Each structure stands twice: as C-alpha cells, then as structure tokens.
Amino acid sequence: MLIMLLLVGAIAAITVGLEPLVMKRFKEWQVKKEARIEKQLDRMHEFSKTKYYSQLYIVFPLVFIIAGIVIFKSLLAAVIGGVVGLLVPNLILGQRERMRKSKFQTQLTDAVNLISSCLRSGLSLVQAFDVLVEDMPAPISQEFGEVTKEIRIGRTIEEALRNLCARMPSEDLELFSNSIIIGRETGGDLPKVFSRLVTTFRDRQKLKETIKTLTMQGKIQGVVMSFIPIFFAFFIYINNKNHFDIMLQSQIGRFLLILAVVLQVFGMVLIKKFSQIRI
C-alpha cells in the first residue's frame, strides 16, 4: 500500500513538473497549426474561419478518443482514435481545396469565352479580366481578382498569370496562360485563339465525363471489395470478441494480421491507380 502511494505521488510530482513544458509545447504546436491553416484558408479566400478549423484539431481527437474508450474499452483504440481525429481536419481542408479547384476548372471554359467576347468588343485584356471578376462567381472571380491586383501594383500580365497557375495548377489554365503570353509576344489574334481554346476545353471535358462514366463501375467494385474484409472483421469482433485471440496471442498470428492489413491497403491503392485514366 505504501509503495502504491509513493508511486502515485511520484507520478503526480512528475506530471506537475512537466505541466509547464507540456503546455508550452502545446501552445507552440497550436500557433504553428493556426499559421498553416490561415495560409491554406487564404489561398481559398476564407479569411475568417481560422479559429473554427483550429478548434477541429482539438474537438475531433477528443471525440475519437472518447469513442475508442466507450465503444472498444481499449487504451490502444483510444490512441488510434486520437491519431485519426488529428487527421480528419486535414482531410476536410484538403477536400474543400480540391472542390474549389474542381469548380475553378469547370468555370474556366465560360471565363475564356467571356474574355474572348470582351476582346472582340474592343476592351483590353486587363479590362476583360475586370469584367470577368464582376460577372462571374467565386472561385474564378477571386483568382482573377488577384491577377488584376498584381497587375495594378506593377507586375506584368505574364508574372500575374504565372502566379495564378501556381495557385491553381491545371493543364487548361496553363494552356490559356501560355496562349496569352505567346499571343502578346507574337501579336497573334487572341479572340480567335480563345475560340479554339473554348472548343478544346469542351471536347476535353466531354472526354473526361465519358471516361468517368465508363470507369464508374470498376471504381464502385473496387471500393466494395476493399471494405468487405474490414466490415467482416468488425462484425466478427462485435459478435465474438475472443475470435481473434488465437491470432493476437501468437507471434505468427500478429505478423499475419499486420501483413493482411498492409496487403489490404496496398490492394486499395492499386485499385485506385488502375481505375484512374489521365488524359
């Protein structure tokens, strides 16, 4: 009994002694995380949501840790839940950024068509960009708004377009920017070039939609086949928690379980790669 009390006292003393260091490290981590989130949100023009997304890095780990303890009653499940909770906000931010870039890509054809019409009516290229910013919705209006701002502070059109391509990487945008740069250097007919670009973009979009439709069945089959073993193992564990004891209690069994997980993840990656067709 005395030994237990001494042990508890020692742990408490160590915890109290390490508390300032832990809090200091946590605050440093929080500041770095908020700076990274703010930078990422600035790229998406969501300037007022930094605190909201920063709180997700605290809420999700706590929720997943509590879920691991309540559902599985295991310290290992709680640790895994905490790690997963830290990854969820990154996935949310990444998905929002991918959706924004995808929306920008779908708006680009209409934007090029609008710029071409403005040039035919006698406006300059910068004035055409201004019309685009006023008439089209986000995110393309926001990105071309950044282009016009850079031009007004003294940067060339070429530099502003290269910065746009760096922010929103896209083969179609690269083709559009290069057409402007080359056309300005050689004195080409930009409205005519843009008309051909619009046709090219629409043909590429139709081809992408056709490929997406043809590969949809394979993608669905891959997802189903990938998650069947996971759901099966979870179902067996819920109904008979001792079913995997023979695997967990032996070194060979643990090795086989780890190998099965690695091969499962590897198979999911291969299925995803095989179902992707780049054009």
Q: What is the pLDDT of residues 20-55, one digit of tens each?
A: 665 667 677 667 777 787 787 777 877 667 778 888
Q: Are residues 87 and 59 in the same domain?
A: yes
Q: What is the chain's alpha carbon radius of gyration, rounded to the nearest angstrom?
A: 27
Report if residue 2 sits inside a domain. no
The count of structural domains within the chain is 3
The CATH code of the domain that includes 175 is: 1.20.81.30
pLDDT value of residue 43: 77
Q: Is the dihedral of CA 159, 164, 153, 186 positive or negative?
A: positive
Q: Is the dihedral of CA 3, 4, 9, 12 positive or negative?
A: positive
Report if residue 45 sits inside a domain. yes
Report if residue 10 sits inside a domain. no
Last residue of a domain, one of 164, 191, 208: 208
Last residue of a domain, one of 100, 126, 143: 100
Q: Are residues 107 and 161 in the same domain?
A: yes
Q: Are residues 49 and 82 in the same domain?
A: yes
Q: What is the pLDDT of residues 204-236, one digit of tens each?
A: 888 888 888 877 777 787 778 778 888 888 888
Q: Are residues 121 and 185 in the same domain?
A: yes
pLDDT value of residue 68: 80
Query: Is 153 buried (19+), middle (13-18) or exposed (0-12) by CB count in 10 A?
Result: exposed
pLDDT value of residue 81: 83
Query: Is 116 buried (19+), middle (13-18) or exposed (0-12) by CB count in 10 A?
Result: buried
pLDDT value of residue 4: 40
Q: Is the dihedral of CA 244, 246, 250, 252 positive or negative?
A: negative
Q: Are residues 200 and 256 in the same domain?
A: no
Q: Are residues 190 and 202 in the same domain?
A: yes
Q: Are residues 110 and 148 in the same domain?
A: yes
Q: Are residues 114 and 199 in the same domain?
A: yes
pLDDT value of residue 56: 84
Report if residue 245 sits inside a domain. yes
Q: Are residues 144 and 76 in the same domain?
A: no
pLDDT averaged over the chain?
81
Report if residue 1 sits inside a domain. no
Q: Are residues 125 and 192 in the same domain?
A: yes
Report if residue 279 sits inside a domain. no
pLDDT along the chain (279 residues), means of 10: 41 49 66 77 75 83 86 78 85 89 92 92 92 93 94 92 91 91 84 89 86 78 79 82 78 83 82 71
Report if residue 270 sits inside a domain. yes
pTM greater than 0.75 (yes/no) = no
Last residue of a domain, one of 54, 78, 100: 100
Domain extent at residue 92 = 26-100
Q: Are residues 44 and 78 in the same domain?
A: yes
pLDDT value of residue 40: 76
d(CA 74, CA 64): 12
Q: Are residues 190 and 221 in the same domain?
A: no
Report if residue 78 sits inside a domain. yes
